[in-house]
Structure 1
Amino acid sequence: MDDQISSKITNYTLDGLTALKTIYLADNKISKIETGAFHSLTNIQDLWLSDNKLSTLDPGVLDTKFMPRLSSVFMDFNPWICDCHLKWLREKMDNATYTIMYPHIIVCSGPPKVAGKAWDVLKPDDFVCENWLYQLKNLQLYGNQLNENSIEKSTLNISTIETLDLSSNLFTSIPRELPPNLLRLTIFYNSITSLKANDFVNATSIIYLYVNDNHISFIEEHAFDPLSSVIEISLSGNKLLDGSISRSIFMKNIKLTHLDLSINMLRTLPDMSYFPSSLTMLSILGNNITVIPLNAFKRLKNLTHLLLWEGAYTKLEDNAFNGLDNLYELDIADDNVSIITNMTFNGLDSLRTLWLSGNNISKIQNGTFNSLKNLKIFWLDFNKLVSLEPGVLDTQFLPHLVAVSITGNPWMCDCHLKWLREILDKGPFRIPDPHLVTCDGPAKLAGKAWDDIKPSDFVCK
């Protein structure tokens, strides 16, 4: 009887088979057998239950009062949970009137202490019940229909849980019932509209908080105060507006290193006067902010990565980045910046990578980047640059420069740009993808890639 019968054998499935001596139920998907399922098989001798989905059996299933002739039971290759509920069956292996066949290939799937062990090396006393939940560290509850009323009091009062994922549910606020020692809370794709001052009072141990892709438009003044150990907070993909973030909102989060405010509805840069100086990564990409004002980030002296790309920035005020002495990466790609000056990037002594791709920059003054003495990688591609003077990329001031990307600009390939084409051949820095760097003029060179023309082709007439 191996033709994939139902996953359940009920008390009536085998009714009327009183003369049956052997029944072969192996190679099916049986996961449950009701207590009286075999009680009508009064003459049964051999019972095959091998290779199914059985994890436990009720003692009444093999009651010899109803099956007095039972001689052999085959039950190998099932995912047995060898706990106290199955102890009776292991005891039968030692003293029953019937034989449990091939105990060396009857293997436990759980609990963890006995998982993978065969029944012939285990004793009945090894079949014990423990609360598995108290070994639980990572709980994934995403993609359900949970809301604030779905989690009963103390349900998650499990001290071992460190990671909880409640994404893609129906929460409209942070649930009150959270594990007491929670380290990471992920609650993407819900309908949370605000964060309140008491939202995290029962989860003060959180280190990583991800509340991305909700509908948050307001955060109460002291919402994050209980999270004194938090390292990373992500609020990206919400509806934060100007005024949604008070300047003291993160004041108590003195260990905060990563803050993500990207893809919201901000039009002005938040006042960062009281943002924690511990921040090393700040992302404000994908907002509607147009101006980076003077000394905007001055307090954030430990910042190493600042991400401002895909925004609406049109103006970078002089000394906008002053005070960012440890910044390694500045990304202002795919914005609307058209003007940069000799004072735009003051204070960025440690900068290694600068992204200015995809803006509207048409002219760069000599000396604009002279303060970036540690710059290595520079992205100037997809702007409106027609020409550059040699002093813009003077390696006397940029001694560590390794690569400058300049593709996607309308270059006028005449004698004024010859010096840059020579660098393609001789260095001292690399120009990547020369086959994608093309001339917009003069007419003789229009449309030609730089790897197909020589420095001597760059002439003025």
Structure 2
Amino acid sequence: MNAWCALTFFWLAYFWHGTLSCPALCKCYPRRAEVVCNEVSLTEYPTEGLPKNTVLLTIQFTNITSISECHLNATPLLQELHLYSNHLQNLSPHLLRGVPHLHTLDLTGNQLTDQPADVFSHTALRSLVLKNNLIENADAEWLPDNSSLTWLDLSGNRLTKIPTALLQKLPRLEILDLSNNQLEKISANSLDSLTKLERLNLQNNKVDMLDASVLQHTRNLTYLFLSHNKLDKLSHNLFQELAQLRVLSLEENQLSHIPSGLLDQLSSLDEQGLDLTSNPWLCDTKVEYLWRWLQKNHMKVFLPETIICAGPQSLAGRSVMSLTDSDLKLQS
């Protein structure tokens, strides 16, 4: 048994490139080739002592303000880099040149703004998370043409427009999160290149209209989040190409009517997959289409009884589901 333990120790030491060293304020897990640094007092990137064969590195809740290509050269086999909730402001040009195996980079909760060209080039990144930073412009020069990205998260920043030029470099993108920004307009061709897109999150923005053709090329969409915007009308053919859509959230907008036929295009909705709550529905004769659709498809709607009339005054507060032919002044 003692001989086996000695052999195991020797093997681990060899695999860890001849050393069991670990940076101060960090924890190293040789079996997983993982390093975790989780100390507020850390002020500089912990290059010294990092095992060269590290594949997973997490540095979180520290006072680090910058990271450079030279820092990452210490771990040439790195595959995942998670830099949550630090104080990063600056990333060096060609940041990833020394980590060609890196596929996941998470920079959530830092203070990043504009960054240099090619900052995320030189490796086949698949996941890039820039959530909760101070980014106003997502530059197309950040990434190479024909990028391998399948997941891009730019939520919680200060974007005022869709980064169309950047998106044109992402033909493999499956998940795009632009929620919690300051987007106002979604131009007609801004998503045309995203033919593999499956999840699109635009909630908590200031979007007041969607061009009828904006979703015509995103035919693989299964989840679409549009809640907490300022949408007051929808084109009757907005969803006509979304035959695979399973979840659609439209709550907390300014919708008063649904165009006739709009929801008939969404035959793949999950049970409770459609949310229409907290809109100022006007229960006049134009609400007939929504009323009839809800009667037949209420199982597909989240809390259908809470879809409430905002007017006219005689019906205010009534559930659309509860209305009658007489309420809507429909001829029998």
TM above 0.5, yes or no, is yes
The yes-or-no answer on 1:172 pairing with 2:40 is no
Question: Could you say which residue in structure 2 is the equivalent of 1:426?
Answer: 296
Question: Could you say which residue in structure 1 is the equivalent of 2:16?
Answer: none
The yes-or-no answer on 1:283 pairing with 2:144 is no
1:213-292 correspondence runs (5 A): 213-242=85-114, 244=115, 246-254=116-124, 256-271=125-140, 274=144, 277-292=147-162
1:410-449 correspondence runs (5 A): 410-427=280-297, 430-449=300-319
**Equivalents in 1 of 2:135, 2:328: separation in Å?**
46
For the residue of structure 1 that corresponds to 2:69, the secondary structure is coil
Could you tell me which of 198, 202, 209 is aligned with 2:70? 198
Q: In 2, are the aligned partners of 1:362 and 1:386 still within 8 Å (CA)?
A: yes
Q: In 2, are the aligned partners of 1:301 and 1:326 still within 8 Å (CA)?
A: yes
The letter for the 2-side match of 1:342 is A
1:231, distance to aligned residue in structure 2 (A): 1.6
CA distance 1:293–1:229, change in 2 (3 Å): closer
1:94-109 correspondence runs (5 A): none
| Greater Rg over alpha carbons, structure | 1
Could you tell me which of 218, 225, 234 is aligned with 1:348? 218
For the residue of structure 2 that corresponds to 1:421, the secondary structure is helix
CA distance 1:203–1:128, change in 2 (3 Å): closer
The letter for the 1-side match of 2:111 is K
CA distance 1:128–1:400, change in 2 (3 Å): closer
1:357, distance to aligned residue in structure 2 (A): 0.4
For the residue of structure 2 that corresponds to 1:251, the secondary structure is coil
The letter for the 1-side match of 2:43 is T
Report which stretch shifted further, 430-439 or 201-210: 430-439
1:298-317 correspondence runs (5 A): 298-317=168-187
1:354, distance to aligned residue in structure 2 (A): 0.7
Could you tell me which of 376, 400, 409 is aligned with 2:268? 400
Q: In 2, are the aligned partners of 1:293 and 1:317 still within 8 Å (CA)?
A: no
Q: In 2, are the aligned partners of 1:385 and 1:410 still within 8 Å (CA)?
A: yes
1:368, distance to aligned residue in structure 2 (A): 2.1
**Equivalents in 1 of 2:146, 2:168: separation in Å?**
11
The letter for the 2-side match of 1:264 is N
Q: Deviations over 1:383-418 (max 9, x none)?
A: 0111121143342xx443444210010100121111
1:459, distance to aligned residue in structure 2 (A): 3.7
Report which stretch shifted further, 231-240 or 359-368: 359-368
Report which stretch shifted further, 432-441 or 259-268: 432-441
1:172, distance to aligned residue in structure 2 (A): 2.2
Q: In 2, are the aligned partners of 1:250 and 1:275 still within 8 Å (CA)?
A: no
The yes-or-no answer on 1:330 pairing with 2:220 is no
Matched positions, count: 320
Q: In 2, are the aligned partners of 1:237 and 1:263 still within 8 Å (CA)?
A: yes
1:202, distance to aligned residue in structure 2 (A): 1.5
Question: Could you say which residue in structure 1 is the equivalent of 2:18?
Answer: none
For the residue of structure 2 that corresponds to 1:199, the secondary structure is helix
Q: Deviations over 1:106-147 (max 9, x none)?
A: xxxxxxx5xxxxxxxxxxx779867859659xxxxxxxxxx9
After TM superposition, the score normalised by the length of structure 1 is 0.63
1:379, distance to aligned residue in structure 2 (A): 0.9
CA distance 1:132–1:435, change in 2 (3 Å): farther
Q: Deviations over 1:151-185 (max 9, x none)?
A: 89xx97x9645111101342223211211211111
The yes-or-no answer on 1:187 pairing with 2:59 is yes
For the residue of structure 2 that corresponds to 1:315, the secondary structure is coil
Q: In 2, are the aligned partners of 1:204 and 1:226 still within 8 Å (CA)?
A: yes
1:155-166 correspondence runs (5 A): 160=31, 162-166=33-37
For the residue of structure 1 that corresponds to 2:262, the secondary structure is helix
**Equivalents in 2 of 1:260, 1:127: separation in Å?**
43
Unmatched segments (≥5 aa) in structure 2: 14-21
For the residue of structure 1 that corresponds to 2:39, the secondary structure is coil
1:429, distance to aligned residue in structure 2 (A): 7.5
**Equivalents in 1 of 2:293, 2:177: separation in Å?**
30
1:300, distance to aligned residue in structure 2 (A): 0.9
CA distance 1:229–1:308, change in 2 (3 Å): same
Unmatched segments (≥5 aa) in structure 1: 1-112, 114-124, 137-146
Name the % identity.
25
Report which stretch shifted further, 174-183 or 377-386: 174-183
CA RMSD in angstroms comes to 3.0
CA distance 1:275–1:429, change in 2 (3 Å): farther
Q: In 2, are the aligned partners of 1:282 and 1:303 still within 8 Å (CA)?
A: yes
RCO higher in 1 or 2 (8 Å CA, sep ≥ 6)? 2
After TM superposition, the score normalised by the length of structure 2 is 0.86
**Equivalents in 2 of 1:167, 1:182: separation in Å?**
16
Question: Could you say which residue in structure 2 is the equivalent of 1:359?
Answer: 229
For the residue of structure 2 that corresponds to 1:417, the secondary structure is helix
1:443, distance to aligned residue in structure 2 (A): 1.3
Q: In 2, are the aligned partners of 1:159 and 1:181 still within 8 Å (CA)?
A: no
**Equivalents in 2 of 1:168, 1:232: separation in Å?**
22
Q: In 2, are the aligned partners of 1:322 and 1:346 still within 8 Å (CA)?
A: yes
**Equivalents in 1 of 2:176, 2:212: separation in Å?**
20
Q: In 2, are the aligned partners of 1:404 and 1:429 still within 8 Å (CA)?
A: no
